Structure 1
C-alpha cells in the first residue's frame, strides 16, 4: 500500500509531463513491430501488473502474451523473456546486441553502476576487469589451489553444527551457510576471516548484504519515470549509498592495512587476491585502480555470499520438505563414502543424486529470479519482433525453470528428472540458467558450484535433521521473499542429530 500511495501521489503531480513524454516516446518506437503484451494504461502503463512478486506476475502474463512480451512500465519499454528458446536467442545468438546493462537508479548509489564489472558496458575496461576475475579469482588453477581452504571452512561449519547438535539446538541454516561463505571469500581475498561463530559480525554483514539486495530489488519510481531520478522520490538510492559506504569502509580498512604492510621492508606478501589486485593496480593502473577494486569487492561479497547461502538454504528446505529425497541422498552418500565420512570436492563427480538435488534447487529457486537487466542501444529484430532502442530486457529465469512445456510437474521438487541427462547450469543449456549465459554469465559460477555441492553433501552425510518445534515436513513454510535475490520468507531452522 505504501508503494501504491506514493505512486499515485507522484503520478498526479507529473501527469501532464508524463503524457507529453509518452506521446514523444511512442512516436519513436512505432517504426517496428513490438512483441505482444497487455494493453498499457495511460501514464502508468502496466505498472499495476507487477504486484509484490513480479517474477510470478510476469510468468502469468507470459502465458497469455507469449515468451517474448512487451510491457510499458511508466515511461520505460520493457521486453520480458520467458522461454528457453527466447533466452537462447537473447543470450547466445544475439548476445552482443543485448550485452549492455539497464542500470537501475538505485545502483547509481556511490557510483556503483559506473564502476562495477556487473554493470558497466562491454568495453576495454570491462574486458580487463573480467579477465582479472577469470584469471585470478575463478580460474580452475586458482580454485584448485584453494581447495584446502574450502575444505577447512566446511569443517568449521561442521564443528559449529556439532555444537548445536550436542546442545539439541536448532541451526539457522541460511545464516550458518552465509557465515561459511563469507569467511571463505574473505580468506580468499584478504587471508583473514571477517567473522567467527562467537560474534554477531556475520549477522551484521548479512543484514548489510540483504539491505543492498532488498533496496536494489524494490520497485522504484525513478526507474519508471526517469525525470524523477534527480529527486530519488522513495529514498532508495540514499539508503543504498549508506549501505555501500559501510561495506566499502570495511574493505578500505583492510586494504589500507595491507598497503602499510607492503611498505614495510622485508614484508612477506600473502599472495592472495588482494595482493594480486594491488600488484596489477601498481604495475598497470589502466587495468584496475582503487575505485574499481572497491566496487569489485562489493560485487564479490554481496552477490557471492547471498546467492550461495540462499541456494543452500533452499536445497536443505526442499529435502526436509521431501523426506524421501533426503533418504535417497543419504543412501547414495552412505554407499559411496560411508555414513558420516567427510565429503571432499573430488567426491562430487561420484554423487549424481546430490548433483541432481542441486540442479533441481537451481531450477525451482534460482537465486536471481530475473537475470540482471539488459539494454539494447539500437533497434534489434528478434523472431520477427522489434526490441526498440533503450528498451529494458528482463530474462525471467524463474519462469523458464518452471515452464510446463519443458518440465513435467514443473512446480514439484523432483531431482530424479536430472538423472541420466546432460542438462547443466553452466550457461549452455537454456532450460535452466541460474547464472545467466553469454559473455555476461556470472563469473563466480565455478566457485558457487563447488561450494554448494561441498556444503550440501557435508550437511547431509554428517547429520540427520529434524525441523524445529516438531513441525511436520508437509507443514513447512516454503514462501519466497522477493528482492534482487529470492530468499525464503521464513528462515529455515532445523535441529541436527548425530547419524
Structure 2
C-alpha cells in the first residue's frame, strides 16, 4: 500500500502540472517570442543601465514584439511603428489602463492625476479638465507673456556670460527656464531666488528622482520588504510629505486670495488665472460634473511638473547639442530665423509658424531623443491579439519610441541628425504618425504637446537668432560627450557647456 502511495502522489502532481500547462498553452497558443529568463528575476537582469538601448538590442534578435517578465509580471515590449499602431490606435481602449506601481501611486495621490489614473470615469473627468481648462490652445496662448518674459531672462543670462567671455551651462539654464515657466503658469509665481528657491529646487529634484525609482515589490511581491530595508519607502514618504505640505501652502494662499478678492473669474481677468486658480474654480463650480477634490488638484499640479519640466528642457539640450555638432544645420536655421526677424530684436510666437526648418529641427530632435524613450507604461484590460500574438489581460506594455525613431526600415541613415528629412514630409509627432511618437498617442497621449513645443520653438529660435555658438577651449564636435544619463528622462550625462558670442542683426 505504501509503495502505491509513493507512486501515486508524484503521478498526481505530474498530471496536475500537465493539465495546467496545457490549459495555459491552449489559452495563449501563440505568444510573442521571449528570451530565456532567470528564476525569480525573470528578464530584469537584461534591462541594463539604459533600458531603451538594451531593449533595442533584444528587438534586433527577437522581433518587433517581445514578451519579457519583470519578476512575475509579463511585460510586452513594442519596437515597431506597426505594432505601436495596434497598441495605441487599433486596440487603444484595451490598452488604456495603467498598472498600479507603489512609488508613483504614493507620490501622485493614489492615481488622482491624469497620467497614472486608472482608465475610467474619474480619469475621463480629469483629462477633460486638463484638455479644456488648462492646456487648450486658448489657455496656452494666454501664457504667452510668461514664456516671452522668462526667455528674455535666459537670453540676458547668456548675454552677461558672453560679455565676460565665460562659458554658459545651457543644461542648467534650460532646467531653470522650464521650472520657472511651469511655476508661474501653475502657481502664479516662481521659486528661483533666495533660500526658498533652493529648497524648492532640491525638493523638485528629489521628487523627479524618486518618481523614476524601482520598487522590487511591484514585480516580486514577496521581496517587497527590500524597499523598507533599503530606505526607499522612507525616502518616498519623506518627499511626498514635504511636497504635500508645500502644495497645501500654495492652495491656502490661493484660497485666501479668492476670499479677499471675490470670484476667481474676476481676478485680473480670465487670462491671468494660473492653474491652481482654474482647478479651484472647477472644484467650486463643479465644472464638467467633476468630482476633483483637494488631493486631485495637487496630483494634477504635480503632473504638470513631472511632465513639463525635465521633458521640455531635455529636448532643448539635445537640440542645441546637435546644432553645435552640425554647423551646416545651424547656419540654415539661423538664416531662416534672420529672414523672418527682418531686423526685429526678438522672435515672438507669432513668427514661429513661418519657420518650417525650425519645426524640422524640433522633429528631428524628438526622433533621435524622445524625452521619455520608453513611453508611459500601459496595461491591457482583457485578452487581445496584437500582430497575431495572444496577449493576456493585465500584461504591462512598454512602447520603445527611441527604437522606433531609429528604425532603418522607416528612416534613411537613422542615426544621423538630418532635419531636412522633414522638410517635404507630413509626418508629425501629434499621435497620428506612429513612426514618430515621442508624446505617445491615443487616449493616453500627452495632453501638453502644444505647451511644450511652443516653449521649445521660441527658446531655440531666439538662441540662434541672438548668438553664435562654439565649444569652449577650442574643443570640436568630435570631442562632445553624447552619453545619456540614467533615468526615465534621458538628459545628457555631461551638461552642455558652450561659449556664446552676440550675432549682428
User: Structure 1 length normalisation: TM-score?
Assistant: 0.90
Q: Describe the superposition over 1:317-343 as per-residue Cα deviations: whole angstroms up to 9, x where unpaired.
A: 111122221112112212222467311
Contact 1:375 / 1:390 at 8 angstroms: preserved in 2?
A: yes
* TM-aligned CA distance change 1:45 to 1:385, over 3 Å: same
CA deviation after TM superposition for structure 1 residue 182, in Å:
1.8
Q: How does 1:17-416 map to 2 (within 5 A)?
A: 29-30=24-25, 31-32=27-28, 33-110=30-107, 112-196=109-193, 199=194, 205-229=200-224, 232=227, 234-264=230-260, 269-270=267-268, 271-284=273-286, 286-338=290-342, 341-416=345-420
Contact 2:43 2:71 in 1 (8 A): yes
Shift of 1:80: 0.3
The 5-angstrom pairing of residues 411-430 of structure 1 reads: 411-430=415-434
Whether the 8 Å contact between 1:339 and 1:461 is mirrored in structure 2 is: no
Distance, in Å, in 1 between the alignment partners of 2:217 and 2:19 is 19
Conservation of the 8 A alpha-carbon contact between 2:98 and 2:118: yes
Provide closer, same or farther for how the CA distance between residues 29 and 277 of structure 1 changes in structure 2, counting only shifts above 3 A.
farther
Distance (whole Å) between structure 1 residues aligned to residue 154 and residue 196 of structure 2? 16
Distance across 1 between alignment mates of 2:395 and 2:139: 38
Of 454-463 and 256-265, more deviation after overlay is shown by: 256-265
Residue 483 of structure 1 is matched in structure 2 by: 487
Taking structure 2 as the reference length, what is the TM-score of the superposition?
0.89
3-state SS, counterpart of residue 412 of structure 1? coil
Q: Report the Cα offset of residue 111 of structure 1.
A: 5.5
Q: Give, in whole Å, the separation in 2 of the partners of 1:381 and 1:140.
A: 37
How far apart, in 2, do the equivalents of 1:329 and 1:299 lie?
33
By how many angstroms is 1:28 displaced? 7.6
Alignment of 1:463-482 (within 5 A): 463-482=467-486
Q: 1:442 to 1:116 in 2, by over 3 A?
A: same
* Structure 2 equivalent of residue 433 of structure 1: 437
**What 5-or-longer segments of structure 2 have no aligned partner?**
1-16
Using the alignment, how far apart are the partners of 2:332 and 2:290 within structure 1?
Answer: 53
Aligned to 1:404, the other structure's residue is in SS state coil
How far has the Cα of 1:263 moved from its partner? 2.1
Give the deviation of 1:109 after TM superposition: 2.5
Residue 266 of structure 1, CA deviation? 5.7
Check 1:483–1:343 CA distance in 2 against 1; reply closer, same or farther (3 A cut): same
The aligned residue for residue 10 of structure 1 is: none
* Conservation of the 8 A alpha-carbon contact between 1:67 and 1:83: yes
Classify the secondary structure of the residue corresponding to 2:267. coil
Match of 1:19 in 2: none
State how many pairs are aligned.
Answer: 476
Pairwise CA RMSD:
2.4
**Worse-matched range after superposition: 263-272 or 86-95:** 263-272
Rounded Cα–Cα distance in structure 2 between residues aligned with 1:371 and 1:226: 24
Secondary structure of the corresponding residue to residue 258 of structure 2: helix
Q: CA offsets, 1:187-221, max 9 Å, x none?
A: 2222212224xx57666545544433333334442
* C-alpha distance in 2 between matches for 1:471 and 1:322: 14
Distance (whole Å) between structure 1 residues aligned to residue 284 and residue 146 of structure 2: 27
When Rg is computed on C-alpha atoms for both structures, the one with the higher figure is 2
Distance in structure 2 (CA, Å) of the matches to 1:102 and 1:307: 22
CA contact (8 A) 2:192 2:198 kept: no
For residues 424 and 290 of structure 2, what CA distance do their matches in structure 1 show?
48
User: Would the aligned equivalents of 1:59 and 1:82 in 2 still touch at CA under 8 Å?
Assistant: yes
- Distance change in 2, residues 1:261/1:442 (3 Å): same
In the superposition, relative to structure 1, how do residues 265 and 452 fare at CA in structure 2: closer, same or farther (>3 Å)?
closer
Q: Counterparts of 1:213 and 1:27 in 2: how far apart (Å)?
A: 45
